[in-house]
């Protein structure tokens, strides 16, 4: 019986005069409304016309005959106990004597529908304790919400409660599950989850006729099993073996097998047999569950592979940094050692000069190692964008040759530069990357070629293509130690300087930069080598020809010379030691030098000067007050064009291409990185002062 507790929320007068008012209000409602006694047989007192529609009745008499005109008669017999209990619990816990339930009803035509029930308990003077209730047909919404549960319940309808829970627990991890009576060799049920996650008959899903005997079905499925696994497959699924396993207490059997599914895919299936015995018949039964574990196994394999790769990379990285430490400490040790020797060389100019020369050489070696490290680990050349500008290949080759001049002379190496194969010298190219490629390859060739050996740099140009590009081939050959064939691939890998893995100390980091730069520029790098005979590295790059070049299509350079008075340079440098060193170096080249210690002083000095007093400005970047960028911008804004257009070269420790672009945007003509290579700086100054090709660009 529906209970409501002792509390009375309010009391109303509910008599024959009240009914017409209730009827007038409720008849206009779209949903059902009824009132019934809260005790006894729960007889109905009133229903509105919508109740007839919901129950499929035409008249009140039909409704009374269908329901007995009681609340219990409205509810599906299978739901009444659950509904009564739910209402009782809600009212006991609530403060307003409200309840909400969902239950099924049986219409006159026998169809079953779901309704939502909102009830409220009241006390009346005439009728006593009542419930008035609003209901609405909610079949579609409730069925949609319960669709998956109903599908499972229908598939397992009539099964034992334990089996019901058992199968539902396994269903969501299973591709298929099959109930078998092993003793009788027959199916109890066979189901599968389709692609939409719906439970479907296994045979319907596979599009085959149902098998009566399980042994026949197992034999049919053997055709989809890998040939090498057939013996184990037949052994595992043998019915007599499975019955024997149950009798021996081994009630869970597991087997993995590669099969070809109905879509032709090779999949790894995991089979589990749960063995039981029917207590009434004594038959041994089994629930066979199969799961597709292909992705799971592949993920585990990928994880193991990733762990191995991470460990390999960790060991490689540790080896790389260990060797980098060695490469840095070697020249550093020489610098410290020769500096110490200088203390005892006072009075012997020859030994002093020799020590200074060796210190200088070791310093250059240390700088090269450091630059190589930065390029390989910080610059990420493969991701950088190309900066293509118009340059003269003859000038670039001259710079490369000059940079290698000192180590070539030190080892008495015969060096030959062959550029007879060039017909176009003026090109549009990423000058920084091309120069670095050639410097790295030439440096390696010299480093691993013994004294009195031979090193060559040959440049060839092929016919231009439809895009206005020529295929340029840069060939660097040597008569060095050579590289074993099995090690040729390793030398281009980043962070590969393990001397036990790469022949006799062949470098890895620098060549990784070469390969990355070449690929970024749309080209390739290859190597041919024989141990004891030497190596030949070939870089092929597609290089553009400018629409209208500013250089002559021939090599036409002005030789270096030192005049008595090349003009006055304004040197802007806040560091006193650097200022003195740079001033003396410039004076040795034949320039007059005036100095300023910061950007403000330089600006004021130029602003007050007469046109022609200074030929050029060397501007440090990092300075207190007004930095180099700000000073250059202020100079460019001076009214006197003869002064505002004075050539300015940035002199900075920042050496990346992005730093150069920043200097150009600030209004400078060029960017020169420290430490100062005075010969290279002389070339840049001379080019700007004597040429007409340079013009400052200020944004």
Residue 639: give its domain's CATH number. 3.40.50.2300
Of 313, 344, 377, the domain-final residue: 377
Ranking 127-141, 473-487, 489-503, 685-699 by mean pLDDT, the lowest is 489-503
CA dihedral (8, 13, 15, 17) positive or negative: negative
Residue 470 has pLDDT above 90, yes or no: no
pLDDT score of 66 more than 90 = yes
Highest mean pLDDT of the ranges 22-26, 266-270, 537-541: 537-541
Does residue 529 fall inside a structural domain? Answer: yes
Please give the C-alpha separations between residue 59 and each of 48, 56, 64, 309, 617, in angstroms, as whole numbers.
Answer: 11, 9, 9, 80, 108
| Most confident segment among 24-38, 222-236, 238-252, 669-683 | 238-252
- If asked whether residues 428 and 538 sit together in one domain, one would say yes
Co-location of 215 and 87 in the same domain: no
Give the pLDDT confidence of 637-691 residue by residue, as tens digits: 998 888 999 999 998 866 666 788 888 999 999 998 877 777 888 888 888 887 6
Structure tokens at 615: 């030929």
306 lies in the same domain as 321: yes
Per DSSP bridges, beta strands 112-124 and 11-12 are parallel
pTM of the model: 0.33
Render pLDDT for 502-523 as a digit per residue (tens, 0 to 9). Answer: 334 444 446 877 888 888 888 9
In a domain, 515, yes or no: yes
Buried-state track 577-600, b at ≥16 Cβ within 10 A, e below 16:
ebbeebbeebeebebebebbbbbb
* Tokens 């090193």 -> residue: 455
Report yes or no on 273 lying in a domain.
yes
Q: Are residues 601 and 670 in the same domain?
A: yes
Q: Residue 444 pLDDT > 80, yes or no?
A: yes
Last residue within a domain, chosen from 377, 394, 423:
377
Q: Which residues contact 686 (CB under 8 A, 6 or more apart)?
A: 558, 560
Predicted pLDDT of residue 456:
94
Judge whether 184 and 283 are in contact, CB under 8 Å: yes
Q: What's the number of domains the chain is made of?
A: 5
CB atoms within 10 A of CB 131: 23
Determine, yes or no, domain membership for 3: no
The values of phi and psi at residue 587, to 5°, are -65, -35
Select from 387, 361, 419, 411 the least CA-distant residue to 656: 387
Q: From start to end of 462-609, where are the E strands?
A: 469-478, 524-530, 534-544, 568-572, 592-596
Pick the last residue of a domain from 377, 410, 427.
377
Label each residue of 392-450 as H, E or C. Answer: EHHHHHHHHHHHCHHHHHHCCCEEEEEEEECCCCEEEECHHHHHHHHHHHHHHHHHCCC
Backbone dihedral region of 207: left (phi > 0), alpha (psi from -120 to 50 degrees) or beta? left
Task: Tally the residues of the chain.
Answer: 699
Mean pLDDT of the chain: 77
Contact yes or no for 437/444 (Cβ under 8 A): no
Beta bridge partners of 389: 429
Residues 216 and 340 in one domain: no
Give the domain extent around 64.
11-145
Q: Helices (H), strands (E): how many in the chain?
A: 24, 24
Work out the percent of the chain whose per-residue pLDDT is above 70: 70
Tens of pLDDT, residues 243-299: 999 888 888 888 887 877 666 677 777 888 888 887 777 888 887 777 777 766 666
In terms of domains, do 131 and 156 share one? no
């Amino acid at each position: 019986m529906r209970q409501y507790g002792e509390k009375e929320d309010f009391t109303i007068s509910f008599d024959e005069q009240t009914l017409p008012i209730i009827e007038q209000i409720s008849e206009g409602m779209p949903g059902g409304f009824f009132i019934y006694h809260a005790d006894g047989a729960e007889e109905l007192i009133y229903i509105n016309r919508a109740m007839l529609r919901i129950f499929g009745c035409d008249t009140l008499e039909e409704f009374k005959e269908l329901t007995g005109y009681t609340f219990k008669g409205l509810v599906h017999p299978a739901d009444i106990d659950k509904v009564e209990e739910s209402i009782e619990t809600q009212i006991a816990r609530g403060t307003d004597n409200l309840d909400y339930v969902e239950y099924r009803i049986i219409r006159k035509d026998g169809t079953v529908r779901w309704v939502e029930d909102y009830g409220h308990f009241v006390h009346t003077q005439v009728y006593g304790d009542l419930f008035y209730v609003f209901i609405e047909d909610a079949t579609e919404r409730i069925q949609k919400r319960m669709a998956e549960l109903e599908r499972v319940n229908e598939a397992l309808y009539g099964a034992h409660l334990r089996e019901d829970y058992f199968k539902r627990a396994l269903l969501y991890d299973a591709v298929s599950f099959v109930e078998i009576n092993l003793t009788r060799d027959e199916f109890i049920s066979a189901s599968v989850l389709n692609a939409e996650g719906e439970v479907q008959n296994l045979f319907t899903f596979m599009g085959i006729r149902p098998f009566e005997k399980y042994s026949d079905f197992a034999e049919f499925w053997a055709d989809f099993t890998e040939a090498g696994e057939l013996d184990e497959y037949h052994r595992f699924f043998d019915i007599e073996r499975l019955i024997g396993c149950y009798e021996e207490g081994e009630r869970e059997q597991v087997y993995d097998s590669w099969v070809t599914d109905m879509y032709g895919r090779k999949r790894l299936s995991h089979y589990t047999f749960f063995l039981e015995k029917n207590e009434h018949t004594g038959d041994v039964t089994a629930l066979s569950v199969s799961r597709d574990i292909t992705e799971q196994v592949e993920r585990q394999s990928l994880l193991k592979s990733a762990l191995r790769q991470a460990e390999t990379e960790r060991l490689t990285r540790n080896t790389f940094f260990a060797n980098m430490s060695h490469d840095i400490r070697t020249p550093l040790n020489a610098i410290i050692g020769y500096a110490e020797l200088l203390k005892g060389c006072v009075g012997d100019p020859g030994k002093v000069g020799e020590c200074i020369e060796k210190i200088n050489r070791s310093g250059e070696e240390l700088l090269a190692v450091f630059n190589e490290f930065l390029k390989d680990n910080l610059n990420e050349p493969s991701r950088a964008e190309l900066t293509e500008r118009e340059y003269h290949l003859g000038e670039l080759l001259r710079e490369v040759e000059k940079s290698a001049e000192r180590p070539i002379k030190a080892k008495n190496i015969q060096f030959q530069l062959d550029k007879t194969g060039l017909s176009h010298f003026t090109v549009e190219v990423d000058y920084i990357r091309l120069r670095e490629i050639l410097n790295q390859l030439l440096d390696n060739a010299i480093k691993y070629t013994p004294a009195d050996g031979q090193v060559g740099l040959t440049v060839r140009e092929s016919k231009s293509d439809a895009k206005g590009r020529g295929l340029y081939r840069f060939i660097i050959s040597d008569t060095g130690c050579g590289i074993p064939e099995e090690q040729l691939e390793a030398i281009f890998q980043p962070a590969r300087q393990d001397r036990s893995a790469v022949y006799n100390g062949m470098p890895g980091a620098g060549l990784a930069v070469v390969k990355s730069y070449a690929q970024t520029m749309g080209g390739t790098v290859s190597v041919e080598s024989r141990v004891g005979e030497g190596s030949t590295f070939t870089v092929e790059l597609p290089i553009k020809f400018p629409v209208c070049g500013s250089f002559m299509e021939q090599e036409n350079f002005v030789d270096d010379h030192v005049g008595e008075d090349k003009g006055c340079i304004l040197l802007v440098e806040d560091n006193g030691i650097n200022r003195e060193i740079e001033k003396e170096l410039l004076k040795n080249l034949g320039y007059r030098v005036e100095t300023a210690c910061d950007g403000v002083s330089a600006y004021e000095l130029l602003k007050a000067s007469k046109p022609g007093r200074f030929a050029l400005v060397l501007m440090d970047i990092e300075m207190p007050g007004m930095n180099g960028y700000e000073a250059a911008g202020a100079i460019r804004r001076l009214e006197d064009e003869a002064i505002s257009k004075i050539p300015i070269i940035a002199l900075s420790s920042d050496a990346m291409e992005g730093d150069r672009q920043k200097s150009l945007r600030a209004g400078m003509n060029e960017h020169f990185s420290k430490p100062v290579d005075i010969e290279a700086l002389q070339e840049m100054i001379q080019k700007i002062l004597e040429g007409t090709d340079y013009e400052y660009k200020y944004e």
